[in-house]
Amino acid sequence: MQNSSRTEVGDGGACTDTSIGEQYLDPSLDPKFSRLRELLCSSDGWEKSWEEGTIPWDLGKPTPVVVHLVQKQSLPKGRVLVPGCGTGYDVVALAGPDRYAVGLDMSGTAIEKAKELWASSPNSECFSFLNKDFFNWNPAEQFDLMFDYTFFCALEQALRSAWAMKVGEILKPEGELITLIWVITDQKEGPPFKNDVSDYEEVLFPLGFKQIYIEDNELAVNTRKGREKLVRWKRSRNQSNQLSKC
Ligand SMILES: C[S@@+](CC[C@H](N)C(=O)[O-])C[C@H]1O[C@@H](n2cnc3c(N)ncnc32)[C@H](O)[C@@H]1O
């Protein structure tokens, strides 16, 4: 799906001959991320990035740890949401007879691409793609599981509390949130914006979410190795979406 090419980069960059999304350790050295940041100065920046194929985050395959979790059968069954799903690899990987997956993206081009790519997938009855803005979307039915990978870190920091509130609304009371966190501490700009486990805790703890699992992601792709954390969260029973008053 993506071009393979070999690119030389300066100090601090990693050069491999794998897919575009794996070439650079530091996104700020990656011309594709620079271009993405330029595009995102306009309100339809995500759409433009998809239209011109500036999608440097895209691994061109399902996220390896997602495949692993599915194979281990360690994920909740029921309905799963992947917000900011892009090409939808993880949506299709999560979908199966026991788990109906919904991929959501605000870019119409991304959703068209995903629909076309996966139309004849053998499990096509078990997933769907929706062209919606996560923040303005009110699903008719809540979800048992939500998987976030490079969506939170793609959002302006000012949107993080709204992200957490929406997660709280969308998940069933016993639902689970899985965040695969690409830890970024050294970027002045974004996306990906600076984000660490503490940034998620800051917005999720006040809503009653608890960490039930945290581990370094040993299955991260080359340039993200040692920089990813898999964190699983659950909300306490009966916790409302209101921020605590004290
Ligand atoms: C960095 S990409 C991640 C894509 C995918 N999760 C992956 O890892 O390949 C972020 C995606 O979020 C989408 N997006 C950004 N803001 C959104 C919003 N408010 N609602 C839905 N999708 C959004 C963009 O169009 C883009 O496809």
pLDDT digits (tens, 9 = 90+) for 4-54: 332 222 222 333 333 444 467 778 888 899 999 999 999 999 999 999 999
- Whether ligand 1 lies within 6 angstroms of the CB of 154 is answered as yes
Q: What distance lies between CA 85 and its chain's CA centroid?
A: 7
Domain extents in the chain: 56-235
Quick one: what percent of the chain has pLDDT higher than 90?
79
- Whether ligand 1 lies within 6 angstroms of the CB of 228 is answered as no
Say how many Å lie between the CA of residue 236 and the centre of ligand 1. Answer: 28
Q: pTM for the whole thing?
A: 0.89
- Whether ligand 1 lies within 6 angstroms of the CB of 57 is answered as yes
Q: Atom 14 in ligand 1: which residue has the minimum CA distance?
A: 84
Cα(78)–Cα(25) distance, rounded to whole angstroms? 36
What is the model's pLDDT at position 30? 86
Of residues 188 and 208, more confidence is placed in 208
Over the chain, what is the mean pLDDT? 88
Say how many Å lie between the CA of residue 92 and the centre of ligand 1. Answer: 16
Report the candidate in 104, 19, 16, 108 with the shortest Cα–Cα distance to residue 64: 19
User: Which residues are paired to 38 by β-bridges?
Assistant: none
Residue 198 CB partners (closer than 8 Å, separation 6+): none
- At residue 24, the 3 state secondary structure works out as coil
Q: Which helix (H) or strand (E) holds 197?
A: helix 197-204
pLDDT band at 239 (very low <50, low <70, confident <90, very high): low
Radius of gyration of the chain (CA): 17
Task: Please give the structure tokens belonging to residue 141.
Answer: 């039915």
Per-residue pLDDT tens over the stretch 145-169: 999 999 999 999 999 999 999 999 9
Report the candidate in 118, 133, 83, 119 with the shortest Cα–Cα distance to residue 103: 83
CATH 3.40.50.10490 fits domain 56-235 = no
What is the model's pLDDT at position 4? 31
- Whether ligand 1 lies within 6 angstroms of the CB of 104 is answered as yes
Phi and psi of 59, rounded to 5°? -80, -15
Residue 72 CB partners (closer than 8 Å, separation 6+): none
- Whether ligand 1 lies within 6 angstroms of the CB of 148 is answered as no
Cβ atoms of residues 226 and 189 within 8 Å: no
- Whether ligand 1 lies within 6 angstroms of the CB of 213 is answered as no
Cβ atoms of residues 230 and 64 within 8 Å: no
